Structure 1
Amino acid sequence: MEYRNWKSLSMYWGALMRITIRYLIDCDLSGSAYKVLFYVMDLMGPDNIAAGVRQKNISDDLHLHKSNVSKCVKELIEKQFIVKTTSRKGFMVNPALYYLGKDDRIHHKEVFDELVRESGRDIIFEMTRGGRVYKSDEDEYIDLD
């Protein structure tokens, strides 16, 4: 897949949280949804918390049918890996699940949660001020670190 010029990539890091790895194992994402998730993660940069990309571009770059990309995006939103940005021209990856070399992770999580609430959904992942992540199941919080 040659959707990006590898030589133009800047050097910064992103990390999957341990809870993300466990959630990826347990949540039964489709293979295409994994591709879409990692594609969106890859488009995030050190100065942006969202990937400004349309589903058509994802479809073209990953060689997936547009309806399949739409299903994958819906699945990723339902499982709160991503949320549509306010402008609806891109997606934000859940900072509780993917950490991108920034100190503003807690603020970014607050932005993510507000977008989730605006879409009429309940928050699946909670994050403490100290950065610990919890998965909420009804009224219980289970520490997954």
Structure 2
Amino acid sequence: MAYSIYWGAFIIPAFEPLYSDELHGTDYKIFFYLLSNINYTNNISSIKQKDISQELNIHKTTVSKSLKKLEELQYIAKVEKFNGYMINPNIFYVGKNKADERDKIRDEFDEIVISNNSEVRFSLIEYTGVLNDNNR
């Protein structure tokens, strides 16, 4: 597999919810698979559930349950128009070296969450390095 060189960044305070939420091995595997297929311009992994299932050799029902859990915990949000999932940029983002670009992507994620009648869970205050988690 060939990789183009690009960088991604986890927000350090995001590790606490990642290890304390009720995620299991398959959930992490799918989450990292989505991260490995992320588009650096919009934080979206345009990949179908059946492709995840085939690529990772995980039953499609299990993939569906894990994606639902990741969505409920707001690590990802389903993006119909891109046929994929947006990774929460309050937790992980790629290739954005300007704060206003990162803010724009975080706002887009929040709009998706709100449009799904959910309350935004994470909010990053970048200049202080504080990640607010409304579930805690």
TM-score by length of 1: 0.84
1:125 aligns with 2:122: yes
Per-residue CA distance 1:93-118 (angstroms, 9 max, x = gap):
00000021213111101000000011
Q: In the alignment, what sits opposite 1:84?
A: 78
Q: Which protein has the bigger helix share?
A: 2
Q: In the alignment, what sits opposite 1:109?
A: 106
The alpha carbon displacement at 1:89 in A equals: 1.0
**Over the residues paired in the alignment, what is the CA RMSD in angstroms?**
1.7
Conserved 8 A contact 2:78-2:85: yes
Conserved 8 A contact 2:41-2:95: no
Following the alignment from structure 1 to structure 2, what is the Cα–Cα distance between the partners of residues 40 and 92?
9
Conserved 8 A contact 2:77-2:85: yes
Unaligned runs of 5+ in 2: none
Q: In the alignment, what sits opposite 2:132?
A: 134
Conserved 8 A contact 1:86-1:115: no
Map 1:28-67 to 2 at 5 A: 28-67=22-61
The alpha carbon displacement at 1:18 in A equals: 1.3
Unaligned runs of 5+ in 1: none
Paired amino acid for 2:69: E
The alpha carbon displacement at 1:48 in A equals: 3.5
Q: In the alignment, what sits opposite 1:71?
A: 65
Report SS of the residue matched to 1:117: helix
Report SS of the residue matched to 2:104: helix
Per-residue CA distance 1:6-65 (angstroms, 9 max, x = gap):
x2x110111111122111110020210101100111111333421111100000001000
Aligned length: 132
The alpha carbon displacement at 1:88 in A equals: 6.1
Report SS of the residue matched to 1:87: helix
TM-score by length of 2: 0.89
The alpha carbon displacement at 1:128 in A equals: 3.1
Following the alignment from structure 1 to structure 2, what is the Cα–Cα distance between the partners of residues 33 and 89?
20
Report SS of the residue matched to 1:15: strand
Hey, which bits of structure 1, 4+ residues long, moved more than 6 A?
none
Report SS of the residue matched to 2:86: strand
Identity of aligned residues (%): 33
Following the alignment from structure 2 to structure 1, what is the Cα–Cα distance between the partners of residues 64 and 109?
20
